[in-house]
Structure 1
Amino acid sequence: MQILIAFIVGAVIGLGIHFQLHQRLTRGVVVAPMIGAVSAGLAWAILTWAGVGIDTPWPWLAALIVPIVVTYPAIIAISRIRVAHDAREKTRLGIG
């Protein structure tokens, strides 16, 4: 049941990253929270399947650190790819 805490923490971290980074309009508002939630939940699940108990700090730290490490570069890459694609499309269509 504690994995829900990891999902919620990951989503909140992802939401914070969404609003912290530039080019918010190039991606959906749910992309960063979903990446954060999935990465936190996956880290928690991997650690618990590996036998690390919730009485140790490792699943809790993973739920905080992994979403940051995964979501930042993913959102930066998604934004850059979208901006480059939009620029190519504008050039192809001959729009301003």
Structure 2
Amino acid sequence: MYILLALIAACALGIAVHYVLPHRALRGVAVVPAISAAVAAVVYTLMQWSGVGEDSGWLWLASIGGGVVLSAVTGYAITASRHRADAEEKVALGI
């Protein structure tokens, strides 16, 4: 049941990351929060299976922090890729 707290926190922080990253119009509004929540779920589950207790701060830091950091990196990569593709398309069209 504690996994829900980690997922809600990761999703909420993922929403904040979406608004902090530049060029947010080039990616979907739910991409970054969804990545953050998914990574947090996987990390939380793997750490639980490896024997880390729910009272450990490392579990919370790794799941929430890892989700937020990885979603920020992925969101930035998606935006940069889209920006680059749009620029190449403009050159190809002669705009």
Displaced runs of 4 or more, over 3 A: none
Residue 90 of structure 1 and its aligned partner are, at CA, apart by 1.7
Mark the runs of 5 or more structure 2 residues left unpaired by the alignment. Answer: none
**What TM-score do the two structures reach when normalised by structure 1?**
0.90
Match of 2:7 in 1: 7
Match of 1:88 in 2: 88
Distance 1:83 1:6 in 2: 32
Q: Deviations over 1:62-91 (max 9, x none)?
A: 233112321121111110000001111122
**What TM-score do the two structures reach when normalised by structure 2?**
0.91
Q: How many residues align?
A: 95
Q: Deviations over 1:7-55 (max 9, x none)?
A: 1111111110000011010000000000110111111011001011102
Question: What residue identity is the alignment partner of 2:74?
Answer: A
2:48 alignment partner, SS class: helix
Overall identity of the aligned pairs, in %: 38
Kept after mapping to 2: 8 A contact 1:9/1:40 = no
Match of 2:55 in 1: 55
Are positions 1:76 and 2:76 aligned together? yes
Query: What RMSD in Å do the two structures reach over aligned CA positions?
Result: 1.2
Distance 1:76 1:8 in 2: 22
Distance 1:82 1:65 in 2: 26
Residue 60 of structure 1 and its aligned partner are, at CA, apart by 1.4
Kept after mapping to 1: 8 A contact 2:7/2:64 = no
Kept after mapping to 2: 8 A contact 1:10/1:41 = no
